[in-house]
Structure 1
Amino acid sequence: MSTDTPSPARPALTALREELPSLNPTMRRVAEAILADPDAAGSLSITTLGARADAPPATVSRLAGRLGYAGFPQLRSAIAVENGRNAQDGWARDIGSAITPRDSAADVLDILAGTAARALREAVSGIDIGAAQEAAAVIAGAERVLLYGEWGDSVALRELHLRLQRIGVAAWFLEGGPVTVRTLSATLTSRDAVVVLNRSGADGIAARLLADASSAGAATVAVHGAPGSAVDEAAGISVFTGIRDGEVWTQHYSGRASDTLVTSLLWVLVAQLRSVDGTRRYVDDGALEDPR
């Protein structure tokens, strides 16, 4: 075990965790009190922290010195700075840097609206219209359409499911986990079509479903945000939404806007095909009726 004096250049909380096993019982209680509630430790007085740890203030000072600080006030400041940095890093990892915790509600609304508008403009240039038309044709002509998407991927796909049913397409949304998906995939035939939506392109269940459906002779369509991914490669018809998958929420938000654009495009194209071939027609009250 090293006996060198730790450098204060190390993050304070990291240094505490590393030193914890080598501390005497009293000093360890102080370190554990800090680590248990680092937000509070960044603002507590030396007396209050000592009382929480059942340790004298002198022990708190010695712990600060052991970590390379001139005294507890310097250690406390380092902890406070690290707390702020961690909070900001957590926000950036989760939501991204486009929106900050200090933005007003009006600013957040403007940023989200602008993000969606830019995403849709970018998506238009990246969507393969030919692939979308081909996908719509197999959906319109299938005896049965099975749709699969998990978590956020399901949002746009569930709307497509409802709208396909509204125009008379026999469509089912697959849910219930991998067992249900495997069971239903075993019933597929060449008269069926499978549509998956997977923004990351890395969903193993989606890729396996596409492979099984293809083996059964069913038409397969993947709507995705990851060209070259497993889901992209497994599909007979691949429709890239024009926006690549991202790491933070604001990037996912952009991608979801493009997901909805593509699934809406597919629905309208299917509706056009079914209208032209006389399968269904619209009436004045907005309902759908059989032309016969």
Structure 2
Amino acid sequence: MGQSLKETFAPAPGVLRSKVRSLAPTMTRSMQRVAETVAADPAGCAQLTVTALAHRTGTSEATVVRTARTLGYPGYRDLRLALAALAAQQEAGTTPSVTADITVDDPLPEVIAKLAQEERLCLSDTAAQLDTTQLEAAVTALATAGRVDIYGIAASALVGQDLAQKLLRIGMLAHAHSDPHLAVTNAVQLRQSDVAIGVSHSGSTVDVIEPLRVAFDRGATTIGITSRPDAPIAQYSDLVLTTAAGRESELRPAAMSSRTSQLLVVDCLFIGVAQRTYDTAAPALSASYEALTHRHRL
């Protein structure tokens, strides 16, 4: 047990926009200006020196460097390289454009197209920025866990229930808790051989963080699933799996924009565990399928 593993490599160019969306709320106003400028015009900013970018954004050279590091790049030079690569991707047409917000007057065919494009972008952003080292460690912990507790509130609770049901079908002992009091009382019973997972888009949901803290203190392996890896949930997470922030709008709240990326992470965890425990998972899946099929025949 210990502190969360940190990123040791700069994020891929295609992840830049999602990093800006997820980390912007934690930045100062001046850092936000730098981050939003480079995400909006990667080709133009890739040509700028640190001094020129500071002048363009009305900030200081130190702010530009801090922004680059906050976004996951060792320095401004590394950020410029990523911007140049992103600009090349856009010119080649390999990076999907960001969809416009859905309005109250949009016809349903346009709503479908916009939602589908936004979901694809959210999935690709999550896949690109998901730390495979953290994911491998999470799969290993789950595959050998005596018991798995999952904490989530509102839309995140549905994601937690999805994972719990999947794990139960392969013979694992898993429970999803949306009641904060029950979550804490169950967390107290966890041991070092167990795993606790907190699902929180913001990473600041108290009713998720508190049972995760209790599980952490009890010695269980703790996993945080969040769009903000620097949020309070990371303090009590041995492993952090980062999702794309997604774009919010008046008709598309955070609960919708976060759910798609969270479900991708949950599916990755489940498939990874099923692979590791195939000898027991496959018969368990077959047995549950047979039981459900038999029930429907009655």
Q: How does 1:72-221 map to 2 (within 5 A)?
A: 98-176=101-179, 178-221=180-223
CA separation of 1:239/1:283 partners in 2, compared to 1, >3 Å: closer, same or farther? closer
Map of 1:222 onto structure 2: 224
Shift of residue 258 of structure 1? 0.7
Please give the residue correspondences for 1:55-74 in structure 2 after superposition, counting only pairs within 5 Å. Answer: none
| Match status 1:279 vs 2:280 | yes
Q: 1:284 to 1:158 in 2, by over 3 A?
A: closer
**What RMSD in Å do the two structures reach over aligned CA positions?**
2.5
**Letter aligned with residue 280 of structure 1:** A
Normalised TM-score (structure 2): 0.59
Q: CA deviation at 1:127?
A: 0.8
Inter-partner Cα distance in structure 2 for 1:153 and 1:284: 25
Instruction: Could you tell me which runs of 5 or more consecutive residues in structure 2 were left unpaired when the two chains were aligned.
Output: 1-98, 291-298
1:230 offset after TM fit, Å? Answer: 0.4
Gaps of 5+ in 1: 1-95
Q: Distance in 2 between matches of 1:124 and 1:242?
A: 9
Q: Confirm whether residue 232 of structure 1 aligns to residue 259 of structure 2.
A: no
Q: Which has the larger radius of gyration?
A: 1
Q: Which residue of 1 aligns with 2:37?
A: none
* Cα 1:135/1:271, change in 2 over 3 Å: same
Structure 1 residues 108 and 212 mapped into 2: Cα distance closer, same or farther (>3 Å)? Answer: same
When normalised by structure 1's length, the TM-score is 0.60
Work out the percentage of aligned pairs sharing the same amino acid: 24
Shift in alpha-carbon separation, 1:255–1:182, aligned structure 2, 3 A? closer
**Superposition deviation, residue 285 in structure 1:** 6.0
Higher relative contact order (CA 8 A, sep 6+): 2
Say if 1:201 and 1:229, in contact at 8 Å, map to a contact too: yes
Map 1:1-16 onto structure 2 (within 5 A): none
Deviation of residue 120 (structure 1)?
1.0
Residues 144 and 226 of structure 1, relative CA distance in 2, 3 Å threshold:
same
Q: 1:225 to 1:249 in 2, by over 3 A?
A: farther
Shift of 1:190: 1.1
**Within 2, Cα distance between the matches of 1:257 and 1:144?**
26
Q: Return the alpha-carbon distance in structure 1 between the equivalents of residues 130 and 199 of structure 2.
A: 15
1:171 is displaced (CA, Å) by 0.3
Q: How many residues align?
A: 191
